[in-house]
């Protein structure tokens, strides 16, 4: 026997080890090449474009893209009295070389204002003690609405850490505020807004369509879950220890009569079955998974093409604004197509899983056809969720349970105000001014 030959047992052992290693490598690669991998983690996010052979940049002679400034707020005449060479007096200018510049005024330093609130004693008519109030004078603490809203703008909108917020306030505004004070001010601001937060909760619960999604978060390294409930305009941020259907029930209730748009996570299915809730499943998710199969197998490509055809056909149908009777007839046709489509016998496991999922949520794929105003995808809530994911990547973790509740309130209201076209910082300042003028304190 040749000296390089190995025994059958050794050969089988090596093959088994290689198979195990192959499966482990496939599992690792799958983290970066599956339908749920975010774009930031994909290895080949953008295919390399083919070289055209043309030179880079704009063609010579093409118009520039420099922004043209608007009308000036201030005009400054720049003059010269003497010749720069011989010193001769120049007299009046013969013309002007006009140049508009975008200028930024120097940051205004914070100032201390003393409010002397008049006390009037007991009313002679009803006996109530009257004390004057001012919208810029807080009922608790020593920070004005402008300062409180500025701090929350830095924390929520700009996503600055407590340390960077402290540095900005000191260097730009001359306000020396400790990090613990910033945390306390955030907590106090959130308490002032509890009523607005509760009103937002009621609005979401009574909405005809609610889009829901969730993502992982952390508090002191412990895994928690951040949920987003939105009707497209109003946004409710909910942070819980659970990822189960109990969270959905606590927000939408047992008697929700609208439509919930979600992905195919099992918690939504349990809530749907338990309380008989109408659902619309996200087509973007299922098409993304089908497209991944299409890149790997021929049968996957045919399944994806058929699903994409039906989806595009349905969008085209709805663009003509059909009547409810026509919508209902179309819905019946689509359900018949779905029943026939999922009855296929396909050996490819990944493709078969997609068909099983289509069949399992049979009643929830075409709700948007018969109910006007329902979107076929969950993209609305995913856009709102993306802002929270960015915050998680920047901060990493909440530091306490109290900060979790503060974030729920402030993030919900900031996102809602922004969706309604308001400047969140200005809106927060108005809310605080209203509260202080009414003499309401943080409870």
pLDDT of residue 157: 94
> What is the C-alpha separation between 172 and 154, in angstroms, rounded?
13
Tens place of pLDDT for every residue, the chain, 443 residues?
A: 455 677 888 888 888 888 888 888 877 776 666 666 665 566 665 566 777 777 877 777 777 667 788 899 999 999 999 999 998 999 999 999 999 999 988 888 999 999 999 988 888 899 888 888 999 999 889 999 999 999 999 999 999 999 999 999 999 999 999 999 999 999 999 999 999 999 999 999 999 999 999 999 999 989 999 999 999 999 999 999 999 999 999 999 999 999 999 999 999 999 999 999 999 999 999 999 999 889 888 999 999 999 999 999 999 999 999 999 999 999 999 999 999 999 988 878 889 999 999 999 999 999 999 999 999 999 999 999 999 999 999 988 899 999 999 999 999 999 999 999 999 999 999 999 999 988 876 65
pLDDT of residue 39: 58
> What is the C-alpha separation between 210 and 261, in angstroms, rounded?
6
Instruction: Report residue 166: phi and psi, to 5°.
Output: -60, -45
> What is the C-alpha separation between 375 and 379, in angstroms, rounded?
9
* Contact yes or no for 285/263 (Cβ under 8 A): yes
> What is the C-alpha separation between 77 and 92, in angstroms, rounded?
12
> What is the C-alpha separation between 287 and 35, in angstroms, rounded?
9
pLDDT of residue 106: 86
Residues 148-157: b if buried by 16+ CB within 10 A, e if exposed: bbbbbbbbbe
Q: Which long-range contacts (CB under 8 A, 24 or more apart) does 290-296 make?
A: 290/354, 291/35, 292/33, 292/34, 292/35, 292/350, 293/348, 293/350, 293/351, 293/354, 296/350
> What is the C-alpha separation between 159 and 394, in angstroms, rounded?
8
pTM above 0.75, yes or no: yes
CATH number of 206-279+379-419: 3.30.420.10
CA distances from 424 to 139, 158, 164, 232, 327 (A): 22, 12, 20, 17, 40
Instruction: From 298, 299, 207, select the one nearest 258 (Cα to Cα).
Output: 207
Residue ranges covered by each domain of the chain: 119-194+421-437, 206-279+379-419, 283-370
| Helices 194-205, 401-419: inter-axial angle, 10-degree rounding | 60
* Contact yes or no for 135/436 (Cβ under 8 A): yes
Query: What is the H or E stretch that residue 337 is in?
Result: helix 324-342
């Amino acid at each position: 026997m040749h000296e390089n030959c190995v025994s059958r047992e050794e050969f089988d052992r090596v093959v088994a080890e290689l198979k195990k290693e192959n499966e482990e490598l496939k599992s690792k690669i799958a983290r970066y090449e599956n339908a749920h991998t975010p774009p930031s983690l994909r290895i080949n996010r953008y295919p390399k474009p083919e070289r055209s052979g043309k030179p880079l940049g704009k063609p010579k002679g093409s118009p520039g893209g420099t922004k043209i400034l608007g009308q000036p707020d201030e005009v400054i005449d720049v003059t010269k009295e003497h010749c720069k060479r011989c010193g001769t007096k120049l007299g009046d200018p013969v013309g002007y070389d006009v140049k508009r510049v975008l200028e930024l005024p120097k940051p205004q330093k914070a100032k201390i204002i003393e409010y002397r609130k008049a006390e009037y004693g007991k009313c002679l008519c009803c006996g109530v003690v009257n004390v004057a109030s001012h919208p810029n004078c807080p009922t608790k603490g020593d920070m004005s609405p402008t300062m409180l809203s500025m701090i929350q703008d830095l924390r929520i909108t700009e996503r600055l850490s407590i340390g960077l917020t402290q540095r900005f306030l000191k260097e730009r505004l001359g306000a020396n505020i400790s990090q613990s004070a910033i945390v306390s001010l955030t907590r106090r601001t959130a308490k002032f807004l509890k009523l607005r937060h509760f009103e937002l909760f009621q609005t979401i619960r009574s909405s005809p369509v609610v889009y829901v999604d969730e993502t992982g978060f952390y508090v002191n390294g412990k895994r928690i879950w951040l949920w987003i409930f939105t009707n497209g305009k109003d946004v409710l941020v909910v942070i819980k220890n659970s990822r189960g259907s109990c969270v959905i029930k606590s927000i939408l209730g047992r008697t929700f009569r609208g439509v919930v748009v979600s992905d195919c996570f099992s918690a939504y299915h349990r809530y749907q079955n338990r309380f008989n809730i109408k659902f619309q499943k996200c087509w973007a998710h299922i098409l993304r998974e089908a497209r991944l199969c299409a890149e790997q197998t021929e049968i996957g490509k045919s399944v994806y093409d058929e699903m994409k055809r039906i989806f595009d056909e349905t969008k085209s149908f709805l663009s003509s604004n059909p009547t409810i009777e026509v919508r209902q007839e179309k819905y019946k046709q689509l359900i018949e197509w779905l029943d026939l489509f999922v009855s296929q016998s396909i050996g490819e496991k990944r493709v078969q899983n997609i068909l099983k999922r289509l069949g399992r949520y049979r009643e929830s794929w075409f709700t948007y056809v018969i109910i006007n105003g329902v979107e076929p995808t969950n993209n609305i809530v995913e856009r709102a969720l993306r802002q929270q994911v960015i915050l998680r990547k920047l901060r990493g973790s909440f530091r306490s349970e109290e900060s979790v509740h503060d974030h729920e309130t402030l993030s919900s209201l900031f996102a809602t105000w922004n969706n309604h076209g308001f400047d969140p910082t200005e809106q927060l300042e108005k809310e605080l001014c209203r509260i202080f003028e009414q003499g309401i304190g943080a409870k």
